Amino acid sequence: MKDILQEFDLLKENPGAGTGTTWLECGGEILESVSPIDGQILGRVRQASGANYDEVAVRASTAFEEWRMVPAPKRGDIVRQIGNAVRTRKQELSTMLSLEVGKIRPEAEGEVQEMIDMCDFAVGQSRMLYGLSMHSERPRHRMYEQYHPLGPIGVITAFNFPVAVWAWNAMIGLIAGDTVVWKPSSKAALTALATAKIIGHVLHENDLPEGILNVVIGSRDEVGEKLIADRRLPLISATGSVAMGRRVGQVVASRLGKSLLELGGNNAVIVSSKADLDLAVRAILFGAVGTAGQRCTSIRRIIAHKEIFNPLTEALIEAYKQLVIGNPLENGVLVGPLIDAEAVENMQRALEEIKSQGGRVLYGGEILSGGIYDVGTYVTPCICEVSNDCPIVQEETFAPILYMIPYETLEEAIQYHNDVPQGLSSAIFTTDLRESEIFLSHLGSDCGIANVNIGTSGAEIGGAFGGEKDTGGGRESGSDAWKIYMRRQTCTINWSREMPLAQGIEFGIE
Ligand code: UN1
């Protein structure tokens, strides 16, 4: 295999701002991309300065003037080509992603597939930017609504889904006629640059103006703060922690911009006494341990009926014992490293708190050592028994810690379920129709995503993705999420020779 940097024409040191085909002379600090797999430096990025950010924003604004005039289905055709270009580079891009953020190969490939699927979805959507038409209350008047391109938009993404979540926003933004300024996580900088290169090439080959898709890697203070405060960007879509989202939401609201926030989850699964336990164990394993517990949709809490609490816990411990933890690029490994030493520290701190709050660690939680493990990013996924009133249950720790919480009645289970600040994804395992319908009703889950007999993670792109409460309220990806990327306009046309007013108002000089 060629060196992964060469695969994407990346250098040992790369400028952190550009369009994929042209790059700026960057003036920020050097960022090292360190693989969580073995601590090796994969490459370096010269980050953007505040002045570089401005150059990017000017390019995105200028390119918007042209891009918005390309007919939407033609924009869709460009996105089709982007999808095809990513298809041909799926292997290399997933390898880059695994190396940089530590995802196991099947999940890295799944993520790149999610980006490809998003392109396909956006191509279809480009011919379906529908507005309604209404019957006017005035004679010989016509009313309808239409959707116009919005402008250059800002997209801030997290390390754990460095390309898929960006594609949710960027591909829909593109077909909507927007240009995109992408600020990826500094922990996934090279993956972002590689992606920008693949896509930049497609745009260039189609003789499109530079600046339709831009990437800008930089610090929060120099770049992040400027981007969210930038009045040229009518929409900021941000994925990350609740603290980050609160800041983005406040700054964007203070300039009356639109924000689309996809923040923390603290997702629970209710396992009823009438559940198919075999299904539940398989789903919980993927949901709690997949991506080493670093998805916003990861399962963090199991609310289990007391009758099946013990057998379920035992089955999960048995399954956890069989997990192969190690180099995510190797076949058979199911758990890779956490993103960095800080994530491991946070996990350890949470485990201390669990114990001090009366919880018990039933399995796992150790930092592994020896061989590849010596890099300090590998941990054993952990199962804890806690009571629902432990304060730690309210928090999302971005690590593979699973809380087992017993319940007696479904009402109590739902109360526990909803009793956290976050509201992203949720599930119930039951074969009882009444229980599942209660869970899906207004009495049930208060989350943006609610599932029956499947886990909380691994959502398909076709639905709108996002959550309530501290999760931020945004919706991305499928369904009608495209609307936020466009400017809605209601139009009324008078084709009569009269000037009637709405609500029957008479106003005029005799
Ligand atoms: C995230 O972790 O920010 O539903 C997104 C899922 C993935 C996306 C997760 N499709 O788990």
> Which of the following CATH numbers is that of domain 2-263+472-489: 3.90.1260.10, 3.40.605.10, 3.40.50.300, 3.30.1280.10?
3.40.605.10
**To which H or E segment does residue 80 belong?**
helix 72-88
Ranges of H-type helices in 393-463 = 410-418, 433-440
Phi and psi of 267, rounded to 5°? -80, 140
CB of 60 closer than 8 Å to CB of 180: yes
Q: Where in the chain is the domain with CATH 3.40.605.10?
A: 2-263+472-489
Whole-number Cα distances in Å, 257 to 151, 217, 231: 12, 22, 8
Closest Cα to atom 1 of ligand 1? 296
> Would you call 119 a catalytic residue per the annotation?
no
Please indicate whether residue 168, judged by its CB atom, sits closer than 6 Å to ligand 1: no
> Would you call 262 a catalytic residue per the annotation?
yes
Digits of tens for pLDDT over the chain (510 positions)? Answer: 469 999 999 999 999 999 999 999 999 999 999 999 999 999 999 999 999 999 999 999 999 999 999 999 999 999 999 999 999 999 999 999 999 999 999 999 999 999 999 999 999 999 999 999 999 999 999 999 999 999 999 999 999 999 999 999 999 999 999 999 999 999 999 999 999 999 999 999 999 999 999 999 999 999 999 999 999 999 999 999 999 999 999 999 999 999 999 999 999 999 999 999 999 999 999 999 999 999 999 999 999 999 999 999 999 999 999 999 999 999 999 999 999 999 999 999 999 999 999 999 999 999 999 999 999 999 999 999 999 999 999 999 999 999 999 999 999 999 999 999 999 999 999 999 999 999 999 999 999 999 999 999 999 999 999 999 999 999 999 999 999 999 999 999 999 999 999 999 999 998
Nearest one of 255, 258, 319 to 283, comparing CA atoms: 319
Please indicate whether residue 83, judged by its CB atom, sits closer than 6 Å to ligand 1: no
Task: Give the Cα separation of 265 and 260 in Å (integer).
Answer: 15
Q: How far is the CA of 465 from the centre of ligand 1 (A)?
A: 8
- Concatenating the DSSP letter of every residue in 289-322 gives HGGGG-STT-EEEEEEEHHHHHHHHHHHHHHHHT
Please indicate whether residue 298, judged by its CB atom, sits closer than 6 Å to ligand 1: no
Task: Give the Cα separation of 194 and 241 in Å (integer).
Answer: 25
Q: Burial of 265 by CB count in 10 Å (0-12 exposed, 13-18 middle, 19+ buried)?
A: buried
Closest Cα to atom 3 of ligand 1? 296
- Rounded to the nearest angstrom, the gap between the alpha carbon of residue 346 and the centroid of all alpha carbons in its chain is 21
Phi and psi of 473, rounded to 5°? 85, -5
Q: What is the pTM of this model?
A: 0.97
Q: Which atom of ligand 1 sits closest to the CA of residue 294?
A: 2
In eight-state DSSP terms, residue 393 is G
Residue from 160, 295, 339 to probe ligand 1 pocket by mutation (most atoms less than 8 Å from CB): 295
Phi and psi of 287, rounded to 5°? -70, -35
**To which H or E segment does residue 353 belong?**
helix 341-356
What CATH number does the domain located at 267-461 have?
Answer: 3.40.309.10
Q: Where in the chain is the domain with CATH 3.40.309.10?
A: 267-461
